[in-house]
Amino acid sequence: MNQQKTLEMLQKIRTGEISPEEAMMHLRMEPFEDLGYARVDHHRELRQGVAEVIYGEGKSPEQITGIVSAMLSKGQKTILVTRISAESAKAITIAGNIPFTYHEPARLGIVGDMPKPDGIGTIVVATGGTTDLPVAEEAALTAEALGNDVIRLYDVGVAGLHRLLSKLDIIMQARAIVAVAGMEGALPSVIGGLVDCPVIAVPASTGYGANFGGLSALLTMLNSCASGVCVVNIDNGFGGGYLASMINHM
């Protein structure tokens, strides 16, 4: 049950349209739905403000379709499916006239329409290089699906610092910044030294051998000397976009 549905039910109790006992029974039936292969958490949005997000990797198209259908039946308008392959996306069938859009670089699917932005300000998603784009797009699309205005600044890494400095007006007006970088992962520290908003560092697995699949970038970001930099896991664009959305809605 989402926040709007819960509010409507509480208003019906106040006006006498339903009894408190009927509402209690409804709530008792709502916490989760057991599909056999998944327990869909219908109370997630009520508790956290954001509905459950489906992690697609390892799930069959049929399982994803079942979870999506269960969420739609409870009134969910926009559903995120992360880490889903193009093949699985093609096999997913959504009943009714509900759009399903697959974004291949980000390996992310969105069921339903994008919501209107209701965040306080703007989220900037920046990358060190073009190779970091899949992770950055996962962050950007996640933030947009959660109701945020997003500005993308791609390929503004420290190898050509003037590219970032030419966009100072944009990054200094941001409410939160997601900085995605591989190699040595220096971009978040540079941005963190320029702005007064939280910087969410996302280490990318791009880089040569001693990058160790993103470990070098992760350690650099964890050891940042810039205040206000927090770090999510390697290639976790979703986590970066989600956290930025929380900050932008506070």
CATH (domain of 181): 3.40.50.1970
Instruction: Mark which of 113, 138, 161 sits at the end of a domain.
Output: 113
- In this predicted model, what pLDDT tens digit does every residue of 97-151 receive, in sequence order? 888 999 999 999 999 989 999 999 999 999 999 999 999 999 999 999 999 999 9
**What's the number of domains the chain is made of?**
2
Q: Is residue 204 part of a domain?
A: yes
For residue 137 the two structure tokens come to 């797009």
**Are residues 199 and 237 part of one domain?**
yes
Closest to 179 measured CA to CA, from 190, 165, 167, 166: 190
> 207: phi > 0 → left, psi -120 to 50 → alpha, else beta; which?
left
CB 64 within 8 A of CB 84: yes
If asked whether residues 98 and 147 sit together in one domain, one would say no
Q: Give a yes or no: residue 11 inside a domain.
A: no
Do the domain assignments include residue 8? no
| pLDDT at res. 36 | 87
- The confidence score (pLDDT) of residue 30 equals 65
Same structural domain for residues 95 and 131? no
Rounded CA-CA distance 66/209 in Å is 41
Domain that holds residue 61: 46-113
Looking at 87, 113, 139, which one is the last position of a domain? 113
Give domain status of residue 210, yes or no: yes
- 113, 133, 161 — which closes off a domain? 113
Q: What are phi and psi of 162, to 5 degrees?
A: -60, -25
Instruction: List, for the chain, all residue ranges whose pLDDT scores fall below the cut of 50.
Output: none
pLDDT the model gives residue 13 = 83
d(CA 212, CA 197): 30
* Statement to judge: residues 127 and 204 lie in one domain: yes
For 185-213, b/e burial (b = at least 16 CB within 10 A) is bbbbbbbbeebebbbbbbbbbbbeeebeb
pLDDT score for 19:
86
Q: Check whether residue 134 and residue 225 sit in a common domain.
A: yes
